[in-house]
Amino acid sequence: MKKDEIKKLDRQHVIYPWKAQRGVDPIVIDRAEGIHFWDADGKRYIDFCAGLLCINIGHGNQHVLGAMKEQMAKFTYVPPSFATEPKSRLAGMISEVTPGDLDHVFFTNAGAEAIENAIKAARKFTGRHKIYSRWRSYHGATAGAITLTGDPRRWYAEPGIPGVVKFFGPYCYRCPFGCERGSSGGMQCLETLKTQIMLDGPKTIAAIFIEPIVGTNGILIPPDGYMKGLRQICDENGILLVLDEVMSGWGRTGKWFGIQHDEVVADIMVTAKGLTSGYVQLGAMIWSKKIWDHFYDHPFVGGLTYLGHALACATGVANVEVYRSESLIEKSRINGEYLGQKLKELLEKHPSVGDVRCRGLWACIELTSDKETKAPLAGFADTRMNVSSGLLKRLYEMGLHLFAKWDFIFIAPPLIITRDEIDEAVSILDEALEYTDSLIGK
């Protein structure tokens, strides 16, 4: 089909997420390879955000595509009550790289469904109802996951499921308790949480759900000791710790999973995205031994038609093989250090760049209208102005794909990216930031 025909059909029938349909004018993508994709006019773009933070091994990996074709020739689907080689192999491979005793895997279609099942598991295991989740978080768009979410995407689904309680986690650039970066801000977050739990009744709380590194609310990296302190709070009160590793997992942060920077083991972990690098949709809820032991004799009431889908699991097996054969976890760590250095140069150069945060090949530039006061440029939920639409327009014109919203610019390239390719992408971003610089004072 020609581009005009595709766009006509698209706008007549396709509903796009998170926006008014009137203003939708999508770029028509024709093909993709490595860290690049091309539109229907042949224009090349650097995919500096790995699709939507998922194409970790890059586009068009032949090993994964070959494994998908091989599985399709055998069968693509059987009911989840049957065992299959792809499902069994992938579950075993996941258990080899997850921290501690997180060895037992329940497959889902995506991260949000993994969250939904983790809510059910936590409530059933503990016999308690309340679920804690932090402000400035995102856990998915399904009923339970969006209720756990701590940003404006939750507003339109309220009141949501009952029993969900919010707390403040660390945000060291803008500490909710007024602490200076490098001080005891993270510990103040923990002390306040302890008080909140005491007042709320610790024996009423089933679990705390948290992203070990907050994703689309700013790549908020917790200070040293915070996650260990949170683990201790959970242990002292019989509360389960549930980690959302949908974005931070699978090498994105320079380790297999983001929590490994803090040497903490969760009771339940959920993951998706990099599990198959987006080649086929797949998520997983992963239990520790104590959760498994409970449900060994008690039914876990949860199930999905496509649980352990054979094609998706075969894709996941091949994807993990690529992580290992190409040393992508280590490459993420090494090239992530280089990316962090390049972004610090942008921090020093541009008056609109207030902060940069980077761990592995996962980074955020936070914009400001005043570096001294940290006053926002766009503001929370664009309360001052919409900056991201103008910025993204300029980036696409220059051939760079990124995700941006409010005062945040997110960087998460495929883990196969080279330093020369990082230089090329950062150079484009450097030029585009002249636009945000120009908005100061408006």
pLDDT higher than threshold 90 for residue 1: no
Q: E strand or H helix at 117, and its extent?
A: helix 111-126
Across residues 363-392, what is the average pLDDT?
Answer: 96
pTM: 0.95
C-alpha–C-alpha distance, residues 170 and 185, integer Å: 7
Residue 418's pLDDT band (cuts 50, 70, 90): very high
Q: Over pLDDT 70: what percentage of the chain?
A: 99
Single out the residue of 352, 335, 369, 372 nearest to residue 429, CA to CA: 352
Which residue, among 355, 333, 331, has the nearest Cα to 343 in the 3D structure?
355
Same fold, 3-57+327-438 and 63-325: no
* Nearest alpha carbon to residue 364 among 214, 235, 257: 214
Q: What is the mean pLDDT of residues 212-228?
A: 96
Ranges of each domain in the chain = 3-57+327-438, 63-325
* CATH code of domain 63-325: 3.40.640.10
Pairing of strands 240-244, 205-210: parallel
Distance CA 375, CA 357 (A): 18
What mean pLDDT is predicted for residues 357-380?
A: 97
pLDDT confidence bin for 186, thresholds 50/70/90: low
Instruction: Encode 350-392 in three state secondary structure.
Output: CCCEEEEEECCCCEEEEECCECCCCECCCCHHHCCCCCHHHHH
DSSP E strands in 78-210: the ranges are: 104-108, 130-134, 164-167, 205-210
- Cα 236 to Cα 160, 230, 352: the distances in Å are 29, 10, 44
Give me Rg for the CA atoms of the chain.
Answer: 22
The CATH number for 3-57+327-438, chosen from 3.40.47.10, 3.30.465.10, 1.10.760.10, 3.90.1150.10, is 3.90.1150.10
Cis amide bond preceding 99, omega within 30: no
pLDDT band at 104 (very low <50, low <70, confident <90, very high): very high
Interatomic CA distance for residues 421 and 437, integer angstroms: 25
Segment 276-334, tens digit of pLDDT: 999 999 999 999 999 999 999 999 999 899 999 999 999 999 999 999 999 999 999 99
